[in-house]
């Protein structure tokens, strides 16, 4: 007999029973002036902010999860989702609150920062509404564009084209909007597997922070540290190898993380007129860009989408993590593979800024080769991964027959496959 879903049994406290009280004690210690002053004197303010945001996020996830469960804001399984039990949403709200509190408590406030916070708040609000009651994709896209406009109005914008002429200003604005909306959407695509989106956000913010401190962009680096800590505080509840997640990011989390990461990248100074240095953020966000381009080309080539509206509304299991799960056999392996890919590209970006021009071009070429290998794996997964016997495994139709109880038909189908 199947066990009845019971939160208290299936949702143990992460990090043991002492994790939560120890986190409360650690926050109280960080609030002490001598402790805060020591971090500042040692040049470790970034670490203080990362620890603070980590602990606040870790402490907020449990009450946020309780609210989601009480209000019925749950992700209910269906045919295209990987989880099998109703799971609370709103994990992104805990990350958002921890991030904002960290900025306020540590006085990381400039007009540009306020612009990002206001715009990020708008994204979170509309996304929470979408988690409760799904909204039209066009409306969500409109809100994202509006939020990107707020970021631009606060003084944060790409400057790839001349700013002295009108056409250059217009192109910079358009490119900024496309970047922010594109990365936000890409992050949302990766929120389909336990721990994947949150882990990628932590890795991406880590490398943004490293490069920020390499180039002495202090506020940029501190914001990246706050975002990394907030995300890592959520991760123990969301990525538990061998066990299922106790809470999901929800659209509020994936949209907020994607939006903030994209906006932080725009805030950074990347030596706009140096083509090599401009490759650094592209490598840091390489996983997002690659997946977005790959699925777009494939869907158009295969006739799955014929216009922008169909592309926006299309929902499929053809993303990088879906394909890697087919190749590797387990969700955890797929998530770790994507983590490793993001880490590899991010490390290349940090070295890129210190390399000579010939070495930099070699690093870029290396990244292209790595992504080419990933493309080969994706095509292998799309065409069907051979089993250990060298025979093609059951196709999607056969798996559906098994799931719907048509065992005899499924067995007959498999036998036909073996006979072929």
pTM score of the predicted model: 0.83
User: Per-residue pLDDT averaged across 213-227, rounded?
Assistant: 90
Token pair 């890697």 is found at 324
Residue-wise pLDDT for 277-292, tens only, equals 678 889 999 999 999 9
DSSP three-state, residue 87: strand
User: Per-residue pLDDT averaged across 243-255, rounded?
Assistant: 91
Contacts of 390 (CB under 8 A, 6+ apart): none
Q: What is the dihedral of CA 193, 196, 198, 202, to 10 degrees?
A: 180
Residue-wise pLDDT for 86-133, tens only, equals 889 999 999 999 999 999 998 888 888 899 999 999 999 999 999 888
Distance in angstroms (rounded) separating the CA atoms of residues 191 and 250: 8
Distance in angstroms (rounded) separating the CA atoms of residues 257 and 96: 8
Report phi then psi at 358, rounded to 5: -60, -40
Check residue 397 and give its pLDDT.
43
Is the confidence at residue 391, as pLDDT, over 90?
A: no
Check residue 271 and give its pLDDT.
55
Report residue 8's pLDDT band, with 50, 70 and 90 as the boundaries: very low
Report residue 78's pLDDT band, with 50, 70 and 90 as the boundaries: low
Report residue 213's pLDDT band, with 50, 70 and 90 as the boundaries: confident
Residue-wise pLDDT for 11-64, tens only, equals 444 445 777 888 889 989 988 888 989 998 888 999 999 999 999 999 999 999
Domain ranges of the chain: 19-268, 270-385, 389-420
Please, is 354 exposed, middle or buried when counting C-beta atoms within 10 Å of its C-beta (0-12, 13-18, 19+)? Answer: exposed
Q: Which of 289, 102, 328, 68 is nearest to 184 (CA)?
A: 289
147-156, 350-359, 380-389: range with lowest mean pLDDT: 380-389
CA-CA distances (angstroms) from residue 246 to 14, 50, 183, 335, 386?
Answer: 9, 23, 26, 17, 34
């Amino acid at each position: 007999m199947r066990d009845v879903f019971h939160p208290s049994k299936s949702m143990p406290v992460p990090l043991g029973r002492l994790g939560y009280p120890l986190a409360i004690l650690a926050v109280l210690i960080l609030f002490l002036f001598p402790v805060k002053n020591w971090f500042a004197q040692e040049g470790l303010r970034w670490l203080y902010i990362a620890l603070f945001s980590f602990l606040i996020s870790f402490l907020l996830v449990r009450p946020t999860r309780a609210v989601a469960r009480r209000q019925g804001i749950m992700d209910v399984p269906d045919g295209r989702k990987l989880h099998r039990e109703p799971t609370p949403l709103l994990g992104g709200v805990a990350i958002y609150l921890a991030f904002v509190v960290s900025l306020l408590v540590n006085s990381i406030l400039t007009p540009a920062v306020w612009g990002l916070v206001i715009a990020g708040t708008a994204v979170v609000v509309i996304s929470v509404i979408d988690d409760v009651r799904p909204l039209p994709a066009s409306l969500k896209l409109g809100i994202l564009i509006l939020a990107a406009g707020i970021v631009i109005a606060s003084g944060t914008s790409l400057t790839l084209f001349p700013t002295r002429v009108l056409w250059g200003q217009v192109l910079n604005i358009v490119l900024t909007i496309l970047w922010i909306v594109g990365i936000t959407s890409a992050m949302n695509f990766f929120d389909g597997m336990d721990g994947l989106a949150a882990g990628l956000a932590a890795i991406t913010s880590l490398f943004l922070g490293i490069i920020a401190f390499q180039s002495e962009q202090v506020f940029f680096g501190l914001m990246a540290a706050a975002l990394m800590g907030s995300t890592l505080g959520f991760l123990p509840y969301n990525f538990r190898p061998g066990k299922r997640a106790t809470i999901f990011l929800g659209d509020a989390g994936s949209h907020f993380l994607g939006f903030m990461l994209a906006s932080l990248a725009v805030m950074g100074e990347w030596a706009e007129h140096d083509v090599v240095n401009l490759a650094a953020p592209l490598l840091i966000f390489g996983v997002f860009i690659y997946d977005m381009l790959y699925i777009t080309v494939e869907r158009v080539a295969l006739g799955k989408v014929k216009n922008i509206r169909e592309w926006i509304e299309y929902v499929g299991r053809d993303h990088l993590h879906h394909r890697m799960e087919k190749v590797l056999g387990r969700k955890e392996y797929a998530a770790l593979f994507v983590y490793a890919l993001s880490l590899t590209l991010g490390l290349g970006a940090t070295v890129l800024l210190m390399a000579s021009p010939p070495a930099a071009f070699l690093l870029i070429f290396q990244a292209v080769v790595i992504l080419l290998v990933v493309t080969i794996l994706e095509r292998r997964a799309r065409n069907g991964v051979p089993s250990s016997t060298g025979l093609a495994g059951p196709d999607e139709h056969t798996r559906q027959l098994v799931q719907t109880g048509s065992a005899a038909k499924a067995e007959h189908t498999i036998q036909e496959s073996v006979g072929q």
